[in-house]
Amino acid sequence: MQRCWWAGPVLADELGTAARRATRSTSATTIASRLSHATAAPRVAPANTFLLQFCYSCLMASATLATRPLIREAVYLHEIAQLSDADIARATGVARSTARAWLAHTRSPTGDRGERLIELSAMVERLARLMEPSYIAVWLRKPVPALGDEKPIDLIARGEYMRVASLISALEETPFT
C-alpha cells in the first residue's frame, strides 16, 4: 500500500477509487494545477484524465521500487533467477519472513544484509550470461567441486562471494563448444 499526499493510502489497482476520493476532496482545477507543476509539458484534457494522470504519477513517484533500489534487487532475484524467499533469506542471513517483506515491498535491506543481497545479485547477473536463468537457483544450491564441494549460496551467505566470483570468472573465460 502506498500513501499519496492528496488521497491517503492507495493501492495500484485502486486508481479509480483514488480518483473518486480526490474528486471529493480536491477540485479538478486544483489537481490540474498540481499536475501542470508535476509534469514538464501538461496536455489539455478533461478533468478525469488529469485525475488519472496525476494519480499514476503520484504512485510512480512514491513507488517503493523507485525509492528503495535494494528491493528492486530482491525482486530481480525472485523473478529472473527464480530464487525463493527461502533462498534469498539463506544467502543474506535473514529470516524467511524478512525476505518475504522485501519481496512484498514493505521493508528494505540494510547493512550487511543489503551487502549480501547486492553480492548475490551480482553473481546472478553474471550467471545469467552463462546459463538459463531457471537453472541459476539450482546451481547456487548445488555442492560445487571447484569450491571444495561447498554450495555457492552458503559461501555468499558467509561473505565469501569472491570465491564464487572467481569460479564464475573462470567459467566466463572457458570457451563452450
86-98: per-residue pLDDT in tens?
999 999 999 999 9
User: pLDDT digit string (tens) for 152-163?
Assistant: 999 999 989 999
In the chain, domain spans: 2-62, 67-173
CA 130 to chain centre: 23
Which pLDDT tens digit goes with each residue over 132-156?
Answer: 988 999 999 999 999 999 999 999 9
Cell (9 digits) for 101: 517483506
Enumerate residues 6+ apart whose C-beta is below 8 A from 64: 2, 71, 105, 108
Q: Round the average pLDDT of the chain to a whole number and report it.
A: 73
What is the dihedral sign for C-alpha 110, 111, 116, 119?
positive
pLDDT given for residue 23 in this prediction:
43
Average pLDDT over residues 4-13: 41
| pLDDT of res. 174 | 80
Confidence class for position 121, pLDDT limits 50, 70, 90: very high
Highest mean pLDDT of the ranges 51-55, 68-72, 165-169: 165-169
pLDDT for residue 18: 43
Confidence of residue 177 (pLDDT cuts 50, 70, 90): low
C-alpha cell at 151: 554450495
Q: State the Cα–Cα distance between residues 9 and 129, nearest whole angstrom.
A: 40
**pLDDT at residue 48, as a whole number:** 46
